[in-house]
Amino acid sequence: MAQITIKGVKKNYAKTAVIHGVDVTIEAGEFVVILGPSGCGKSTLLRMIAGLEEISGGEIAIGGKVVNDLEPRERGCAMVFQNYALYPHMTVRQNIGYSLKVAKVAKAARDARVMKVAQAVSLEPYLDRRPGELSGGQRQRVAMARAMVREPKVFLFDEPFSNLDAKLRVAMRAEVRRLHRDLGVTSVFVTHDQTEAMTLADKLIIMNAGKVEQIGKPTEVYNNPASRFVADFIGSPAMNLFEGEFDAEGQFVHGTGGRMNVSQLNGVRQPGRKVVLGVRPEGVRRTGADTHGAIPAVVDYVEELGASRLIHADANGSRIVALDNDTSEIKSGTPVHLSLADSALHLFSLEDGRRISH
């Protein structure tokens, strides 16, 4: 267990900067997920913690000790790779025990420790097989056992489940969660899958284009996105985002002149201010035409989800998605009226995408 402090960390490849100064503190024993679209620098950051990538600027400390110039093996991190990276010519037992063999641990002690971790991830029946004879899920468990056997201070996961099928992924997620609970080792997990991130994380770090967009608990990030990017990235179906401005009466004007009554955003409704208004589909409800502030729209198509459905509609040139629990048939082209739930509105600056608190 160790705290990880990342201070102003930068990464440049030749002259291109891929990470522009990241500051994060990961508490001892915490499970942190770094989430972001591909190419945002999340794996690079993880690899810098591991020591596989040089740090171009700033400082990374593990357990209070600056590790910038330490070799991977001296940092006390273990890593689980996306493609498992098992040694194909070694048996499962040898794969798991390799780090101990390199560290010159006596054979008896080595076997005992391999056995112990193999039990923890239920691999005992496969100890004498080679990676080629195992399924994807089993291989990933070997990779995890290999990381665990060193009893590291920090676990690093680099998109470990992206090669597994959906069902297995859910099972492995539960397994990782359980292992973290049992071992309590500080863990950093990189993924581009937001469901994975939301379910695993104690703390989420959302990255975009080499910068940290937001750090917080999953619910916090979901309920209070710090920027337009986070609002758009987190949540499925994605948040409705309307670009527009306030008119003289404080109404929100969007699309081809559609108006929304957003009286709850009192205080930030300066006329002419250009903003992005965000509301999650579950904050949009169908309503009667006579409701105050109802937004007229035309149904484009309906996505059936089983228990509920998503209505994709067009409101004065703006696309709007509503989560609807009504099951009565609704055809495309039908006019509907929608209203926005009071508490669910998010406002972002159009200029820099940062949140405008209200």
Partner 1 sequence: MIERSPFFDALTYAVMIIGLILVIIPFWVVIVAASQSLQEVSQVPISLLPSNQLWTNLSEAWARADLGPKMINSFIVAIGVTVGKITLAAMSAFAIVFFNFKARMICFWLIFITLMLPLEVRIVPTYAIAANALLPFQTILDVTGLTWLVQAVSGIQVSLNWNLLNSYTGLILPLVATATGTFLYRQFFMTIPDELAEASKMDGASAMEFFWDVLIPLSRTNMLALATIMFVGSWNQYLWPLLITTDRANFGTVVMQLKALIPAMNGTPDWNVTMAGALIIMLPPLLVVAFMQRWFVRGLISRDK
Binding site residues, partner 1, CB under 8 A: 50-52, 71-73, 77-79, 81-83, 85-89, 98-99, 102-103, 132, 146, 150
Residue 58 or 81 with smaller CB distance to partner 1: 81
- Rounded distance between C-alpha atoms, residue 83 and residue 199, angstroms: 22
Work out how close the CB of 39 gets to partner 1 at its nearest, in angstroms, rounded to a whole number.
18
Work out how close the CB of 176 gets to partner 1 at its nearest, in angstroms, rounded to a whole number.
18
Phi, psi of 25 (to 5 degrees): -120, 125
Residue 99 or 261 with smaller CB distance to partner 1: 99
Work out how close the CB of 47 gets to partner 1 at its nearest, in angstroms, rounded to a whole number.
8
Q: 231-253: b or e for each residue (b if 16 or more CB lie within 10 Å)?
A: bbbbbeeebbbbebbbeeeebbb
Phi, psi of 303 (to 5 degrees): -105, 115
Residue 3 or 99 with smaller CB distance to partner 1: 99
Work out how close the CB of 126 gets to partner 1 at its nearest, in angstroms, rounded to a whole number.
19
Work out how close the CB of 80 gets to partner 1 at its nearest, in angstroms, rounded to a whole number.
9
Residue 150 or 269 with smaller CB distance to partner 1: 150
Residue 131 or 235 with smaller CB distance to partner 1: 131
- Rounded distance between C-alpha atoms, residue 277 and residue 245, angstroms: 9
Angle at 94 between CA 92 and CA 97, to 5 degrees: 110
**Read out DSSP for 154-200?**
EEEEESTTTTS-HHHHHHHHHHHHHHHHHH--EEEEEES-HHHHHHH
Residue 83 or 162 with smaller CB distance to partner 1: 83
Q: Is there a contact between 60 and 129 (Cβ–Cβ < 8 Å)? A: no
Work out how close the CB of 151 gets to partner 1 at its nearest, in angstroms, rounded to a whole number.
13
Measure Cα distances from 183 to 28, 30, 176, 179 in Å: 12, 11, 10, 6
Q: Determine the distance from the C-alpha atom of residue 261 to the mean position of all C-alpha atoms in its chain, rounded to a whole number.
A: 33
Residues 6+ apart with CB under 8 A from 165: 136
Work out how close the CB of 272 gets to partner 1 at its nearest, in angstroms, rounded to a whole number.
54
Residue 81 or 349 with smaller CB distance to partner 1: 81
